[in-house]
Every structure is written in structure tokens, then in C-alpha cells.
A and B are shown apart, each in its own frame.
Chain A
Amino acid sequence: SQTIHQWPATLVQPVGSPLSLECTVEGTSNPNLYWYRQAAGRGLQLLFYSVGIGQISSEVPQNLSASRPQDRQFILSSKKLLLSDSGFYLCAWRPKRISYNEQFFGPGTRLTVL
């Protein structure tokens, strides 16, 4: 069976510090991978998605970046965090099947920037 891991679960970082969040998927190959952010309240914002190693599409301009160094590894980074980067970060994966739109989400990382 497939599983998706994210770490850390919670993180408190000062403004201006760097960030690295990691997501890995097990039990599948060549998945589509996604990073979302959910600010206080509702609504998930798609940040990045990747259809393969080294292939990253950015959905919104920001001080965050993403990388996919391996097939089942997706990393979200920042060189200098802003207060507005606080939120709940979710990684998700989806198999590459036409008309199949179920995405599987990880447990999330709660980031607080102080």
C-alpha cells in the first residue's frame, strides 16, 4: 500500500531563517507531487506541483521554492522566512491515471514564523 510522510510535524522558526520541509511517498512510482499551504481558516492554496524528477511548476510567486531530487521525494524550501509564511503545509501525491482525480495528502507540517 502507498503511504506519504511529511516532517517535521510542527516547526517554529524566526523571521529570516531558512526552511526545509520534506515529503516522501512509498509504494508507488512516478507520482505527481504537490505542495499546498493552508492559512488560518479554510482554503488550500496550491504552491507547487511536479510531474517528474527535476520538473517543478510554481503556482504563485513567493519566497518559497520546491525541488524533486528523487522520484518520490519532494522538498519545500525558503532562504528567508517571512511572517506570512506561517501556515499548515500539506504534501500530496496522485497517480498518473487519466480521469483519476484522487489526491492523497500527508499529515501536514504546522509552521509558525515568529
Chain B
Amino acid sequence: LAKTTQPISMDSYEGQEVNITCSHNNIATNDYITWYQQFPSQGPRFIIQGYKTKVTNEVASLFIPADRKSSTLSLPRVSLSDTAVYYCLVVGNQGGKLIFGQGTELSVKP
């Protein structure tokens, strides 16, 4: 299983763009990169998934370079409600198992 490494915490201010980078040097050919968001006392919520290049949805963008050894989750113009823990996961054909690391605790300040 590919291991992921991401910063433990990040601080930002309202209205800023936040980029959280995750490294996954041992990613396999069949693996997808998936990001989840978790608020306190709630289950994680799927944000975005990608395989290569760039993926964008109504919540975030995901940038994946050609070698796929890292990825960057981009949150445009964050608000206080974006304060949460963000998890980067590499998911392959493993029976759908998600292996969560420690995640990145994002704190958005006014």
C-alpha cells in the first residue's frame, strides 16, 4: 500500500487560496489519489479524486504531476467553515480499503 506524507497542520486566512501537498512516492499504476475532509465529531467526507493532471469540482482542484509521486489539493478562497482535517489517500484495487494517515489540520482565521 502506498504511504502518504502531508503536513501536520496549516494556517490560513479567510479569502486566501490554500494548497496542501501530499507525497506518495510508492504509488502504483492502478492507484487513484483521493482527498477527504473531516470536521470534529463527524465522519470524513469525500472531496475529490484524480489519477493524473488536473481535476476540478465545485469544492476544490487536484493537481497531479506526470510522475504522480505527489499531489496538491487546492481550496480557493477559504472560509472559516473550511477549518477541518484533510486526508490524502492513495487507493487502488484493494477491496476498497481506505488507509487514513494523520491528515493535515487546516485552521482558517478571520
Residues of A within 8 A of B (CB): 32, 34, 36, 41-46, 49, 51, 57, 59, 88, 90, 92, 94, 96, 98-99, 101-108, 110
Give Cα A46 to B95, complex, Å. Answer: 13
Which chain A positions have C-beta within 8 A of B46?
102-104
Do B95 and A101 touch across chains, with their CB atoms under 8 A apart? no
The main secondary structure of chain B at its interface with chain A is: loop
CB of B64 closer than 8 Å to a CB of A: no
Which chain B positions have C-beta within 8 A of A59?
97
CB of B99 closer than 8 Å to a CB of A: yes
Q: Which 9 A-B pairs have the closest CB atoms?
A: A105-B43, A44-B100, A102-B46, A101-B91, A32-B96, A90-B43, A43-B102, A94-B96, A42-B102
Residue of B nearest to A43 (CB): B102
A7 to chain B, nearest CB (A): 14
Known interface pairs A34-B96, A44-B98; 8 further A-B residue pairs with C-beta atoms within 8 A, sorted by A's residue number: A41-B102, A42-B85, A43-B102, A44-B44, A57-B95, A98-B93, A101-B98, A105-B42
Residues of B within 8 A of A (CB): 32, 34, 41-46, 49, 85, 89, 91, 93, 95-103, 105
CB<8 Å pairs between A and B, sample of 14: A32-B95, A34-B96, A44-B98, A45-B100, A49-B95, A49-B97, A59-B97, A88-B41, A98-B93, A102-B49, A103-B46, A106-B43, A107-B42, A108-B41
A100 to chain B, nearest CB (A): 8
Do B100 and A43 touch across chains, with their CB atoms under 8 A apart? yes
Do A105 and B44 touch across chains, with their CB atoms under 8 A apart? yes
Give Cα A104 to B103, complex, Å. Answer: 18
B92 to chain A, nearest CB (A): 9
Give Cα A46 to B98, complex, Å. Answer: 8
Residue of B nearest to A33 (CB): B96
Q: Contacts A46-B98, A49-B95, A106-B43 hold; do A101 and B85 have CB atoms under 8 A apart?
A: no
Do B32 and A101 touch across chains, with their CB atoms under 8 A apart? yes
A70 to chain B, nearest CB (A): 19
Which chain A positions have C-beta within 8 A of B93?
98
Which chain B positions have C-beta within 8 A of A36?
100
